[in-house]
Amino acid sequence: MIGKTSESIAEVKNAVKRFPAPEGGVITALDGISLEIQQSQFVTLLGPSGCGKTTLLRAISGFEDLDSGEVRIGGELVTGVPPYRRPVNTVFQNYALFPHLSVSGNVAYGLEVAGVSRSECNRRVGEALERVGLAGFDRRKPSQLSGGQQQRVALARAIINQPKLLLLDEPLSALDRNLRQSMQIELKNLQHDLGICFLFVTHDQEEALTMSDQVVVLNQGRIEQVGPPKAHYHQPTTRFVAEFIGDGALFSGKIQNTTEDPILFTEDGLRIPVGVGAKVGDSVTLIIRPEQLDIAKQHVEGSMGILDVVLEQSLFQGATNKYVCQLANGSTITAIPTAAGNEAFSRVKPGEAVRLSYRRSEPHLIIESEHAG
């Protein structure tokens, strides 16, 4: 990565953390994670529950000590530094608002414990509340607010100390879908306006893809892939990422060449034409996204791959139509064809055979192991 010395806000090196499992044994929450977070970026830690993303967040905020490895914030090693001395603030999953304090009391908390003068305090609380759209709510108690409003108070409270890094632990998971989507945009705007770094934890891939500059996909305490959202979708580097992000059919097998073009032979007997990039003998995984598939025309060009399937179900989804088809090996594959494809599909009845086509160059190939020699 570029500008490693000056722009890095937080850095995690070889972080390892194990917990005793309730039923005996140990759970490895962090299994040697290294990560660098750059200035003024929106970074998301994405992964299924139990992948270690919250543990990583808590290791940065100081609530969890690492078994080994180190955390640096603003270049400084923070091992053993308690949370209240770390220049980061957190928006907690359940908001953790102080029930006995008013909205302004909650927001002012960080300033008051730091001994900021009352007038300065009032001014900054006013500013922060304005920024999150809660001006005029200062005298309410948290219990008198809706979930979305509580969320905003938690946000205002966390940004008032002007942290170098704002940590957000699944803050939107308790909100309903519409509110969640508008909060996603607001969070993104807030991050842009403040110019501080957001480290956002979620298990929701849509949330991660919508908001982030960088997405870090975690699985079983390890980093699977780091990069911009598009890269995760179009060029997943591992099978896990390909399955976790977006829909698509995955095929694993060996590349063989029967004629002139490479073909993927799966173990259960499918033959799937692939594009260049894989050599004969490589073990690969191919990901075909639904929007890459269309109904095959009469005349098939050489640059196209063909799959023979049986239509199972057509699903109307508003803007698009989705066709669930069955392959020869019994597995399903989904197609979201173009308008012309839809036209052709509408004449196919469930149970009838149909030919799907895709550009050989489009589906992404993960090369698991190269052919020796």
Q: Which residues bind other proteins (CB under 8 A)?
A: 61-63, 82-85, 88-90, 92, 94, 96-100, 109-110, 113-114, 141, 143, 157-158, 161
Residue 32 vs 87, nearer CB to other proteins:
87
> Is the torsion defined by CA of 122, 126, 131, 133 positive or negative?
positive
Please report how close the Cβ of residue 96 comes to other proteins at its closest, in angstroms: 4
- Render 187-238 in DSSP notation, one character per residue: HHHHHHHH--EEEEEES-HHHHHHH-SEEEEEETTEEEEEE-HHHHHHS-SS
158/335 with CB nearer other proteins: 158
Q: Compute the half-sphere exposure of residue 147: CA atoms within 13 Å on the CB side of its CA.
A: 13
From the list 250, 229, 358, 257, the residue with the least C-alpha distance to 304 is 358
With respect to other proteins, which residue has the nearer C-beta, 93 or 326? 93
355 three-state secondary structure: strand
Amino acid at 305: G
Decide whether 58 or 364 has the Cβ nearer to other proteins: 58
* Shortest distance (Å) from residue 181 CB to other proteins: 26
Q: Rounded CA gap, 320 and 317, in Å? A: 5
Name which of 45 and 284 has its Cβ closer to other proteins. Answer: 45
User: Sign (positive/negative) of CA torsion 337, 237, 196, 187?
Assistant: positive
Partner residues linked to 252 by β-bridges: 285
Q: DSSP state, 349? A: P
Distance CA 193, CA 200 (A): 17
Rounded to a whole number of angstroms, the minimum distance from the CB of residue 293 to other proteins is 46
Nearer to other proteins, 87 or 277 (CB): 87
Measured distance CA(68)–CA(325) in Å, rounded: 49
Helices and strands per DSSP (H, E), number in the chain: 10, 20
C-alpha angle 165-169-173 in degrees, rounded to nearest 5: 140
Q: How far apart are the first and last CA of the chain?
A: 32
Least Cβ distance, residue 284 to other proteins (angstroms): 45
Taken as a whole, the chain contains a residue count of 373
CB of 283 to other proteins, least distance (A): 46
Q: Which residue's CB is nearer to other proteins, number 63 or number 265?
A: 63
Cβ at position 88, least distance to other proteins in Å: 8
- Cα–Cα distance for residue pair 214/226, rounded to 1 Å: 7
Query: Which residue number, 194 or 348, has a Cβ lying nearer to other proteins?
Result: 194
Distance in Å, CB of 162 to other proteins, minimum: 11
Within 13 A of 360's CA, how many CA atoms are on the CB side?
Answer: 18
Q: How far is the CB of 90 from other proteins (least distance, A)?
A: 5
**Nearer residue to other proteins within complex by CB, 113 or 340:** 113
Question: Shortest gap between Cβ of 351 and other proteins (angstroms)?
Answer: 54
Identify whether the C-beta of residue 216 lies closer than 8 Å to the C-beta of residue 46.
yes
